[in-house]
Each structure stands twice: as C-alpha cells, then as structure tokens.
Chain A
C-alpha cells in the first residue's frame, strides 16, 4: 500500500448509513466487487461512482457506516480506489469491516471542518498526518500490522499469508 497519498475530497454529512453507501437491494444480487463499486454511494451522491479518482478521500460527519453489518459497504469504496475515509467516528462494525477488507479509515475530529468538497488533501499514514490548505492534523499512525492487512487485501488473505498458506 502507498504510505502517502494525495487526492481530492468528497465531503458528506453525519450518519452516512450503509444503505446509502451500498443499497440493500443489491446485497444478494451483486456479487462481483467491481460491480459493487459501480453502486458506491448511489443513494447519496449519484455522481460519485462515475467521477471518483484513485486516492480520493471521503470526509464525513459522525457515525459513518451506521446501519447494517454488510461488508459490501466497505468493499465498494475500496474497489473504487478511495484512499481513505475520515470521520469523527465510525460505526464499530463498519470500522472493523473497513480494516478487514483493506480500506483505510481515519478517526479525526479536527480535520473535518478544514476541508470542503473538492479540496486537495494529502495523507501520510506512517506519520499519521493529514495535510490541506487550512493546516495539518494528526491521527494515530498506521502500524505494520495494519499495512499488512491492507497489502494482503484483507483479513482472510492476510491470515492465509501469515500461516504460510498461499492463496
């Protein structure tokens, strides 16, 4: 995984739930990860899936990912190349699903108000630093373990790799 990324901000409000990140109607019909990406954020921002670029960053309000425990709501952002999601808080299960599928999630209250939709943003995961026009903000740096899961592409492949079972 790239330890530093640069991209643009997609800004959303509070309580972005898993139903708008990945609509429930697709949970049992769409199984291909790439296709999941095409429905990312569909009910909140229909432009998102078409326009998001690799390493773009989602910045949102509290309780990001609340609602159901569906893993697709993390997978769909990952396959779209989202570099990170920054929020003051995540639903616990979304945070775990995010990490377990290899999507970097950053809890940082202070950075939220310093960015607008479309702003440039830089993140250094190793140093734990978010940089933008209005200043820089720190978060607990990612460690090797975290990079390991993300690099392997998620918790299950990471576990197989660690146990010496090749995929």
Chain B
C-alpha cells in the first residue's frame, strides 16, 4: 500500500509495516521540546509519581517566552525550570540568553529529516521545514513523555500543495502562507498533514520553509512538511545532533486533496484583525494608520528577514508617528546582524532592538500596545488580545511590508521600496558560510 510521509513515519516509529489514516498509534518521539512552560509541566510530571525522566537526552528546554524575566513571577518560573533541568540531568538546556525555542532547535541541529519531534508549543509544526514530523503536545502529554517516553497520535490525512514559478518582487514565504490561509481558512487543514512540494518548494530557503511550516498550525494542521533536499542537508552539515534518514511520501500515495499554487500570481498579503485568515491584498488596505511595527518572532526574524528590513531602512528614518521594534530570533542571528552592520542601520533609522526571544508576540513584555493602537507585525497570530491588550489591533505581514510601512507611517505596499534580492541572497549566502 503506497503511503504518505505522515503514514510512513508513524508506521516506522510504531513498528508497523503500514498504518491507516485515522488509526491511533503510540510512538516515542526523538525530541520533546518545552519552554518556559516546563515549570508547569514539571509539576504534572511529579504528580505522576516517578522520580527520574525516562531519557533526559530526549528533552530540549529553551527559556524564551519572557527573557530576561520582566518581573519576579517570570524569574521564579525560570528558576524552577533551571532546578528541574539540573535535578534531571537534562543537557540540552538553553537558558534565557539564546533566543526563540523553534529557532534554537533548528540552529543547534535538533531538527532532522525523518524524525518525530513534539513540543509543548503550537508552532512545533515549524520543524517540518527540515522534513521532521513536528507537532504540538499538551502540557500533560509532555509530562507523560518525560515519564514514559511515549505519546499517541492519530494518523493524519494529508493535503498536498504543489508550488510552481517564482515569487514576484515584494512577495515572500509569509505572503504565500497568508495566501493559503485566506484560501482554506483557519480550519482548512484541521488535524491534517500539509505537504508542500513541487519544483518551487525546493527553491525555498530553510528560513522560508520555516516560515511556511510555522504557519501550518494556523490552518489547524498537525504538521507541515517540505520533503527534505540538498538545501536542508547542507544546512545540517556540521550541525546535526545525530545521523538521520529522510522519509518521503510514496510516488502514488493518496492525498485528501492536491492544490497547485503559482508563485508568479501572488501579491503581498496582510492578515487583518482579529483572525489569521482575514487575509487581504496589501493594496486593499494600504493607508491604514499604525502606532507600532514589530519585526520579530519565530515566524520572521531570521537573518534574511533582518537583511531585507535593513535594505529598506538604511539611511532613512522610521515615520515619527510610530515605533519600530526589532527582535532577532536568536543570539546567533543578532551576532550575524551585528557583524553585517544591520543593527546599526536599523537603530540609525530609529528602531528599538531588544534581546532575542518572543518579545511582545504573546504580550509578555517589550512592546505591548496601548488601547486603540494598531500594530503591524511579522508574527503568526493576531487574535484579540494576543499582544497583551484586548483593545488593540494586530495586522500580520512580511518583513518587507513591515519595514516599508514603518517608513511610511501606515500600512504600505512593499513594492514602493524595491530591494535588490540578488544582493540580499548574496549577503545571506556569505553570512551562512
């Protein structure tokens, strides 16, 4: 029986030849990630009644949701996590000075083709960029993984997306993700695996794949997946935490649906308040006033995103009617940006730069909007209250759209400030080496 990637990976880990879609299987994930919520998870773990974590090396813990801590409660929480990590002998612990969990797992070679990864965070789907089966687990489930090393999954049906062509100027992976969201809506891929393939999928960089798979969960998906290729293998060179064996869908696997997307037809998109699937072309809402622009988060704050922002803003000034906040996804990216002079460019343009981490993405600190304010952000969610104030509004777009909007003082078409993408690619290539 020909099978999809999701079926093949789950069958392999469940020790079976084949599995049916809808079937429940129990597997041991290679990696279980948790972040600041490890404090709460450790309490549930203790309630189960075992002393020692089943396999300390399975767990990767990153402190990122409010770093450095904004107040004593967050600080205590971090302290609880540090104590737990020490007591359990967990070696893969990344303290508050590293960056956003999903970026940290990628950079440190924990995300590998063909493996199963869970995370007590919805955006664990990001790991599909590397050809891993990455999906969220609840806090109780993560505690159970600590105790037994196991978790159950319902084998998902797969929706396949085939990409063709090239992005026109001003269009990026973020616009593609928003395009699909607008098309299939926030429940369009409920409990499904989303497989992104076709010739154009294999031209996407690792960073772009991460943006796309990160947003798969916004459509309800269990996983996002790009079949791994040389681009991924090159990224993993010298980084991979272990050997790996990629898994691919069989040629004649059955898909629930197949959707073809021509990149050349895409335009810059913006998700409007208060749902991620409220997607409009930037041209339809250009001119909307803004009080804040945020370039950050696990969706779009990698070096390519920062280079693009700097290309737009270099030698210019952010419109005085708004604040621009830039938070690199990791310390490593911040160091690269610093070496490239990008941080200086952005600060000279008027941006505030903050410590790598989640920042104001979920409203913990570093840029919570005031009542009635509108924010344009590179994040993945714009639910009411997401950034910490129920009476503010959040719009989502690409870093290019965000940077141009910061310049203009309102939502603006990124094509108003063209950038030389060849030059951008060049800088990225040199930086990554």
**Interface residues, chain A, CB within 8 Å of chain B?**
15, 62-63, 66, 69, 89-93, 95-97, 99-100, 107, 139-140, 142-143, 145-146, 149, 155-156, 159-160, 162-163, 165
Interface residues of B in 106-146 (CB under 8 A from A): 136, 138, 140-141, 143-144
- How far does the alpha carbon of A162 sit from the alpha carbon of B190 in the complex, in Å? 31
Question: How many B residues have CB within 8 A of the partner chain?
Answer: 26
Q: What is the 8 Å Cβ interface bit string for chain B, positions 202-242, against chain A (1 contact, 0 not)? A: 00000000000000000010100000000000000000000
What distance in Å separates the Cβ of A114 from its nearest Cβ neighbour in chain B?
18
In the complex, the answer to whether A90 meets B191 with C-beta atoms within 8 Å is yes
In the complex, the answer to whether B48 meets A156 with C-beta atoms within 8 Å is yes
Cβ-based interface call for B147 (8 A): yes
Interface segment out of the listed B18-26, B79-87, B88-96, B333-341: B18-26
Question: In the complex, which of the residues A66, A149, A162 contacts B187, with contact meaning CB atoms closer than 8 Å?
Answer: A66
Cβ-based interface call for B315 (8 A): no
In the complex, the answer to whether A100 meets B140 with C-beta atoms within 8 Å is yes
**Interface residues, chain B, CB within 8 Å of chain A?**
20-24, 26, 44, 47-50, 136, 138, 140-141, 143-144, 147-148, 152, 154, 187, 190-191, 220, 222
What residues of chain A lie closer than 8 Å to B141, measured between beta carbons?
96, 100, 155
30 contacts between A and B (CB under 8 A): A15-B187, A62-B187, A63-B187, A63-B220, A89-B190, A90-B191, A91-B220, A92-B220, A95-B154, A95-B191, A96-B138, A99-B152, A100-B138, A100-B141, A107-B22, A107-B154, A107-B191, A140-B20, A140-B22, A142-B24, A143-B23, A143-B24, A145-B152, A156-B143, A160-B48, A160-B49, A162-B148, A163-B48, A163-B50, A165-B50
Question: In the complex, which of the residues B23, B148, B154 contacts A159, with contact meaning CB atoms closer than 8 Å?
Answer: B148
What distance in Å separates the Cβ of A101 from its nearest Cβ neighbour in chain B?
10
What residues of chain B lie closer than 8 Å to A100, measured between beta carbons?
138, 140-141
In the complex, the answer to whether B26 meets A139 with C-beta atoms within 8 Å is no
Nearest A residue to B24 via CB reads A146
In the complex, the answer to whether B140 meets A156 with C-beta atoms within 8 Å is yes
In the complex, the answer to whether A93 meets B49 with C-beta atoms within 8 Å is no
In the complex, the answer to whether B26 meets A92 with C-beta atoms within 8 Å is no
What residues of chain A lie closer than 8 Å to B47, measured between beta carbons?
156
In the complex, the answer to whether A140 meets B23 with C-beta atoms within 8 Å is yes
Question: In the complex, which of the residues B20, B147, B152, B187 contacts A163, with contact meaning CB atoms closer than 8 Å?
Answer: B147
What residues of chain A lie closer than 8 Å to B187, measured between beta carbons?
15, 62-63, 66, 89, 91
Nearest A residue to B148 via CB reads A159
- How far does the alpha carbon of A89 sit from the alpha carbon of B154 in the complex, in Å? 12
- How far does the alpha carbon of A92 sit from the alpha carbon of B24 in the complex, in Å? 14
- How far does the alpha carbon of A99 sit from the alpha carbon of B24 in the complex, in Å? 10
- How far does the alpha carbon of A25 sit from the alpha carbon of B147 in the complex, in Å? 33
Question: In the complex, which of the residues A63, A96, A139, A160 contacts B190, with contact meaning CB atoms closer than 8 Å?
Answer: A63
- How far does the alpha carbon of A69 sit from the alpha carbon of B143 in the complex, in Å? 17
- How far does the alpha carbon of A139 sit from the alpha carbon of B20 in the complex, in Å? 10
What residues of chain B lie closer than 8 Å to A142, measured between beta carbons?
24
Nearest B residue to A106 via CB reads B22
What residues of chain A lie closer than 8 Å to B23, measured between beta carbons?
140, 143
- How far does the alpha carbon of A160 sit from the alpha carbon of B148 in the complex, in Å? 10
What residues of chain A lie closer than 8 Å to B50, measured between beta carbons?
163, 165
What distance in Å separates the Cβ of A92 from its nearest Cβ neighbour in chain B?
5
Nearest B residue to A128 via CB reads B22
In the complex, the answer to whether A89 meets B191 with C-beta atoms within 8 Å is yes
What distance in Å separates the Cβ of B285 from its nearest Cβ neighbour in chain A?
26
- How far does the alpha carbon of A146 sit from the alpha carbon of B143 in the complex, in Å? 19
In the complex, the answer to whether A97 meets B138 with C-beta atoms within 8 Å is yes
In the complex, the answer to whether B144 meets A145 with C-beta atoms within 8 Å is no
Given contacts A63-B220, A100-B140, A163-B48, 13 further A-B contacts (CB under 8 A): A89-B191, A91-B187, A91-B220, A92-B136, A92-B220, A92-B222, A96-B138, A99-B24, A99-B152, A107-B22, A155-B140, A155-B144, A159-B147
Given contacts A163-B48, A165-B48, contact A69 B190 (CB under 8 A): no
What residues of chain A lie closer than 8 Å to B147, measured between beta carbons?
159, 163
What residues of chain B lie closer than 8 Å to A156, measured between beta carbons?
44, 47-48, 140, 143-144
Nearest A residue to B44 via CB reads A156
What distance in Å separates the Cβ of A26 from its nearest Cβ neighbour in chain B?
20
What distance in Å separates the Cβ of B104 from its nearest Cβ neighbour in chain A?
24
What residues of chain B lie closer than 8 Å to A63, measured between beta carbons?
187, 190, 220
- How far does the alpha carbon of A102 sit from the alpha carbon of B222 in the complex, in Å? 21
What distance in Å separates the Cβ of B205 from its nearest Cβ neighbour in chain A?
28
In the complex, the answer to whether A139 meets B22 with C-beta atoms within 8 Å is yes
In the complex, the answer to whether A69 meets B24 with C-beta atoms within 8 Å is no
What distance in Å separates the Cβ of A117 from its nearest Cβ neighbour in chain B?
24
